[in-house]
Structure 1
Amino acid sequence: MIKWQPRHRWEEVADDLRQRILDGEFPPRTTIPGIPRLMQQYDIGRNTALHVIAALAEEGLVVVRRSMGTFVIPPEDRPQP
């Protein structure tokens, strides 16, 4: 029997942003939406938005520059799995 595993909301939002980055909607060296915009766009709380950004940064897709924004890392500069 297969057990259904519920997903956290932050995982769903991270998946969506990850796909948008990989599809080129957010080109390298450009910013993704900030925390307030993510909260509004995805109807999530601040901590959830922060978790999403942290997950994408841990994967090497984005880098957070304090007071500047969250920038997409070019594919050639991303760590290899």
Structure 2
Amino acid sequence: MIEFAPDQPRWRQVADVIRKRIADGAYPPRSRVPSVLQLQAEFGIAAATGQKVHRALRDEGLIYTEPGLGSFVSQPDTRPRT
């Protein structure tokens, strides 16, 4: 568990941890990220909070969800930027 800061929503703080793990390579592309239940167990958060974490990371394009299989780290965008 982490020590939550009172001035920021918990879902945002947990998303920051997962985002850092992705950036550091702890969760490489196409690897599974913790499920909502696993987030609940690790961080002591509610299911709705875990769902917000997943939604935020999906909205950022960092993860994608395969129904019935789980959520996975997206491939980095390798297209040249213009």
CA-atom RMSD in angstroms: 1.9
Gaps of 5+ in 2: 1-5
Number of residue pairs matched?
75
Cα offsets for 1:23-79 (capped at 9, x unmatched): 1000100110111111000100000000000000000000011110001001126xx
| Structure 2 letter corresponding to 1:73 | S
Q: More helix by proportion, 1 or 2?
A: 1
1:23 aligns with 2:24: yes
What TM-score, normalized by structure 1, do the two folds share? 0.86
Q: Does 1:66 align with 2:67?
A: yes
TM-score by length of 2: 0.85
- Note the 1:39-50 alignment, pairs <5 A: 39-50=40-51
Identity %: 36
Return structure 1 stretches of 4+ with deviation > 3 angstroms: none
